């Protein structure tokens, strides 16, 4: 309130009175005659209401508020000085003195800016110039202009190098011919011509032979005590802006360079319009001191903005461009950087489609903020993406990641939390492991929501504690799985338990029928206004099994005859699915995988086909030894099976199971790409081979 009152009275004389509980004046200062037009002795005993011409009806309510210990401010028309801003401040233990009354009245134009001491105090007592707490470049410039107006001048503009606003790495030209941008303009009048002639946000180059250019070239203050009509006309002609002539006629102007660490950032243009005291040499000295402080504030804001933009760009480039998952699983994500008062952090999310109708769902959080946290996040995400594609189980993948973080911590301490889940859309099993992360939320298909109780393990990179273990959950069709970082449920104004309760309240039974986008928006409702908000990463997955007619499995004996049986099963299943055109290639790949299993593993085998975004062929056996791709010599009798698979399959790989291993490969399905969208060119079909390894025709049974 006091700030707005000061803005309405650009420069003022103040008067302090003391009143009793009934509003009678019991104290008066010496400047009563200058402000109120009455001698101090004449005011004692006079009711305050008699000094008010308009607004006296508000006095009774203000006196009641003061009696309750509350400060109040009002705008009244006083006898003598006219409109005044009056503040009633309660006094405790003052005897008959119940409150102090501060009366501020506007000075005549000729008397403004007369007292250099008052001007200096008003400029340098402002919190912005003393501390520079604001780190937003545009807002900081606007507030600096609001400090200069009305305490130092009537009109103030701040222009900075365009390279500062655009966050260029090199400033380029920094003299008078530099490209600049006006980022703030403040006036103490309602004349819109200033804003129209000198618009905020304008990108400009000042014309030669103007005082603006001189200030930038010399890096010194330029003082124009009085701009004549001829001078104003010359500036307007050079600038090719006719309104400039009228606005600058008979004004006094000071142009102050903004220099921080020997670098020119721009300049501040201060103008006193006609009828006000003109700038003198002492005013220029005060202005240069103010400009030097303003330059430090602007430079700090520029550096913070550039560092934050760098970290944010780096972090966004390291986050996934798109999420992959089986067609039966629906995934939504949200990522929200920290507020401008909190540096960019190291939160990340991931959804990776795995062979066999499985998906890896991951959320992690690197401790700390800034570029270092974003770089560490990129390292972890890349490593975890690789481990997921290598089909490491969640606990094993997090253990390897823990070793990586421990190694990084030898150079500089780092730690992170992470939760990693793998959902199998063919069996409905969800395997989860956590390293110091907040518990995942599982909303089951019957409407019950619970935070999963996972084995305790320290964050990645923290030595000691329990080992990382995983747990497996049977998930019903339609259940929802929610993983998140602490920024979603914890803040300075909210306890983490309250945040967890709020999140569980969102995912109640009604959430099962609500759209995923609506749920994601509900999770972030209310977090945007938190100025101390941390990064937020959120991943929501609606888990459904693949239809039973999209996959089939068969148990085969460990016998060479199983190869022939496997080819027949593949051919029959593909004909049923309408994919007979893939039969030749799929039969060949299945026979090679089954042959390899019969030769090198004991016990029964299992063959599985999965029609999802691609056609997946899997062979499971009882041996933990993983096959290795090699190029056989000309006289070798074996060793060519995996080479054939790698040539004709889109991808192939292996993963260990509790009973042995799985060797898999996949083929693209005609008319779709691996992400399920239509091809824009003809599918190559049987021509997917090289001249070195022509595609043989499998024998017919």
Question: Residue range 692-697: average pLDDT?
Answer: 38
Count of CB atoms situated within 10 Å of the CB of 265: 23
Work out the pLDDT band at 126, boundaries 50, 70, 90: low
Question: Residue range 57-62: average pLDDT?
Answer: 83
Work out the pLDDT band at 315, boundaries 50, 70, 90: low
Instruction: Give the separation between CA 556 and CA 551, rounded to whole angstroms.
Output: 17
Q: How far is CA 27 from CA 18, 20, 38, 472, in A?
A: 4, 9, 13, 80
- 326 or 635, greater pLDDT: 326
Question: Residue range 642-662: average pLDDT?
Answer: 86
Count of CB atoms situated within 10 Å of the CB of 300: 17
- Of the ranges 95-99, 438-442, 445-449, 674-678, which one carries the lowest mean pLDDT score? 674-678
**53 pLDDT above the threshold of 50:** yes
pLDDT at 678: 35
pLDDT at 131: 45
Report which of 344, 406, 349 is spatially closest to residue 373, judged by C-alpha positions.
344
Q: Tokens for 387? A: 């481990």
Element containing residue 118 per DSSP (H, E): helix 116-124
Q: pLDDT tens digits, residue range 481-515?
A: 999 998 888 877 678 888 899 999 999 999 999 99
pLDDT at 545: 92
Name the percent of the chain lying above pLDDT 90: 37
pLDDT at 639: 64
Question: Residue range 408-421: average pLDDT?
Answer: 82
Q: Which residues contact 107 (CB under 8 A, 6 or more apart)?
A: 11, 12, 13
- The CA-CA-CA angle for residues 68, 73, 78, to 5°, reads 120
**Residue 449 near residue 501, CB atoms below 8 Å:** no
**352 pLDDT above the threshold of 70:** yes
pLDDT at 25: 84
**310 pLDDT above the threshold of 80:** no
**367 pLDDT above the threshold of 70:** yes
Question: Residue range 74-101: average pLDDT?
Answer: 78
Which residues, in sequence order, are bridge partners of residue 13? 105
pLDDT at 701: 41
**285 pLDDT above the threshold of 80:** yes
pLDDT at 190: 72
The listed range with the strongest mean pLDDT (63-67, 85-89, 123-127, 554-558) is 554-558
The structure's pTM equals 0.61
- Of the ranges 10-14, 71-75, 121-125, 318-322, which one carries the lowest mean pLDDT score? 10-14
pLDDT at 663: 92
Residue found under tokens 């730690």: 415
Question: Residue range 576-593: average pLDDT?
Answer: 92
Work out the pLDDT band at 173, boundaries 50, 70, 90: low
**4 pLDDT above the threshold of 70:** no
Average pLDDT, the chain: 82
Q: Which residues contact 651 (CB under 8 A, 6 or more apart)?
A: 355, 665, 666
Q: Report the interhelical angle of 561-577 vs 583-600 (nearest 10°).
A: 150
**395 pLDDT above the threshold of 90:** yes
Q: Which residues contact 88 (CB under 8 A, 6 or more apart)?
A: 19, 62, 63, 65, 66, 71, 72, 73, 74, 99, 100, 101
Q: Where are the alpha helices (DSSP H) in 2-89?
A: 2-8, 32-36, 40-43, 59-67
Instruction: Give the separation between CA 644 and CA 629, rounded to whole angstroms.
Output: 10
Please, how many CA atoms are within 13 Å of residue 586, restricted to the half-sphere of its CB? 30
Work out the pLDDT band at 437, boundaries 50, 70, 90: very high
Q: pLDDT tens digits, residue range 549-566?
A: 899 999 999 998 999 999
Q: pLDDT tens digits, residue range 266-279?
A: 999 999 988 888 99
Q: pLDDT tens digits, residue range 526-556?
A: 776 665 677 889 999 999 999 988 999 999 9
Q: Where are the alpha helices (DSSP H) in 488-615?
A: 496-506, 516-524, 561-577, 583-600
Instruction: Give the separation between CA 33 and CA 40, rounded to whole angstroms.
Output: 7
């Amino acid at each position: 309130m006091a700030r707005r009152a000061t803005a309405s009275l650009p420069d003022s004389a103040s008067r302090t009175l003391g009143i009793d509980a009934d509003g009678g004046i019991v104290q008066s200062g010496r400047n009563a005659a200058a402000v109120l037009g009455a001698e101090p002795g004449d005011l004692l005993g006079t009711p305050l209401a008699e000094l008010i011409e308009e607004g006296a009806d508000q006095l009774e309510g203000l006196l009641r508020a003061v009696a309750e210990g509350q400060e109040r401010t009002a705008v009244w028309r006083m006898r003598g000085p006219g409109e005044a801003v009056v503040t009633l401040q309660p006094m405790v233990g003052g005897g008959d003195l119940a409150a102090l009354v501060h009366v501020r009245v506007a000075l005549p134009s000729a008397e403004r800016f007369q007292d250099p001491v008052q001007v200096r105090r008003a400029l340098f007592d402002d919190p912005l110039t003393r501390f520079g707490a604001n780190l937003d470049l545009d807002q900081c410039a606007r507030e600096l202009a609001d400090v200069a107006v009305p305490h130092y001048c009537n009109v103030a503009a701040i222009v900075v190098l365009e390279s500062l606003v655009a966050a260029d790495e090199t400033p380029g030209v920094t003299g008078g011919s530099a490209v600049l941008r006006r980022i703030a303009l403040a006036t103490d009048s309602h004349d819109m011509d200033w804003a129209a002639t000198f618009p905020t946000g304008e990108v400009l180059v000042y014309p030669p032979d103007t005082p603006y250019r001189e200030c930038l070239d010399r890096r010194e203050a330029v003082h124009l005590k009085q701009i004549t009509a001829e001078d104003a006309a010359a500036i307007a002609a050079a600038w090719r802006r006719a309104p400039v002539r009228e606005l600058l006629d008979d004004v006094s102007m000071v142009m102050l360079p903004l220099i921080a660490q020997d670098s020119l950032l721009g300049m501040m243009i201060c103008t006193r319009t006609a009828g006000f005291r003109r700038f003198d040499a002492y005013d220029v000295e005060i202005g240069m001191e103010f400009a030097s402080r303003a330059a430090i504030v602007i430079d700090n804001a520029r550096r913070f903005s550039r560092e934050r933009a760098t970290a944010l760009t780096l972090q966004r480039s390291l986050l996934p461009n798109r999420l992959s998952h089986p067609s039966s699983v629906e995934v939504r994500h949200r990522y929200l950087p920290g507020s401008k008062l909190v540096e960019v952090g190291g939160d990340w999310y991931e959804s990776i489609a795995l062979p066999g109708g499985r998906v890896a769902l991951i959320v992690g959080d690197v401790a700390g903020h800034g570029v270092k946290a974003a770089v560490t996040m990129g390292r972890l995400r890349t490593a975890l993406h690789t481990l997921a594609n290598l089909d490491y189980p969640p606990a094993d993948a997090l253990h390897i990641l823990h070793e990586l973080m421990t190694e990084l911590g030898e150079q500089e301490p780092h730690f992170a939390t992470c939760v990693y889940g793998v959902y199998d859309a063919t069996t409905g099993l969800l395997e989860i492991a956590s390293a110091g992360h907040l518990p995942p939320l599982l909303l089951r298909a019957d409407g019950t929501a619970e935070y999963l109780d996972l084995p305790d393990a320290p964050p990645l990179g923290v030595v000691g504690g329990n080992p990382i273990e995983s747990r497996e959950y049977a998930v019903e069709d339609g259940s929802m799985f929610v993983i998140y970082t602490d920024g979603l449920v914890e803040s300075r104004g909210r306890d983490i338990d309250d945040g967890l309760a709020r999140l569980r309240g969102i995912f109640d039974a009604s959430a099962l029928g609500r759209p995923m986008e609506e749920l994601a928006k509900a999770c972030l409702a209310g977090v945007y206004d938190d100025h101390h908000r941390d990064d937020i990463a959120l991943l929501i997955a609606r888990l459904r099994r693949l239809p039973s007619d999209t996959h089939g499995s068969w148990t085969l004996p460990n016998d060479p005859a199983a190869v022939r049986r496997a080819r027949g099963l593949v051919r029959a299943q593909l004909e049923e699915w309408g994919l007979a055109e893939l039969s030749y290639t799929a039969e060949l790949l299945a026979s090679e995988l089954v042959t390899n299993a019969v030769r090198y593993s004991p016990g029964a085998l299992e063959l599985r086909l999965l029609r999802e975004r691609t056609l997946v062929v899997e062979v499971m056996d009882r041996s933990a030894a993983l096959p290795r791709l090699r190029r056989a010599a000309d006289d070798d009798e074996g060793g060519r099976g995996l080479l054939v698979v790698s040539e004709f399959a889109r991808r192939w790989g292996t993963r260990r199971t509790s009973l042995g291993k799985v060797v898999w490969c996949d083929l693209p399905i005609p008319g779709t790409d691996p992400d399920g969208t239509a091809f824009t060119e003809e599918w190559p079909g049987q021509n997917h081979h090289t001249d070195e390894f022509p595609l043989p025709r499998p024998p017919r049974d």
